[in-house]
Amino acid sequence: MGKESRVSGEADTRTSESIQETVRAAADYLRSCGAKNVYLFGSASKGTFKENSDVDMAVEGLPPEIFFRAMGELFRILDRPVDLIDLDEDSPLTRVLK
Read off the CATH number of the domain in which 30 is found: 3.30.460.10
| Cβ atoms within 10 Å of 32's Cβ, excluding its own | 9
CA distance 21 to 91: 30
Task: Give the SS3 label for residue 26.
Answer: helix
pLDDT tens by residue, 13-67: 446 678 889 999 999 999 999 999 999 998 888 888 888 889 999 999 999 999 9
- Flag whether pLDDT at 4 surpasses 90: no
Question: In the chain, what is the straight-line distance between the N-terminal and C-terminal CA atoms, in Å?
Answer: 45
Residue 85 φ/ψ, nearest 5 degrees: -105, 130
* Number of structural domains the chain divides into: 1
Domain that holds residue 90: 2-97
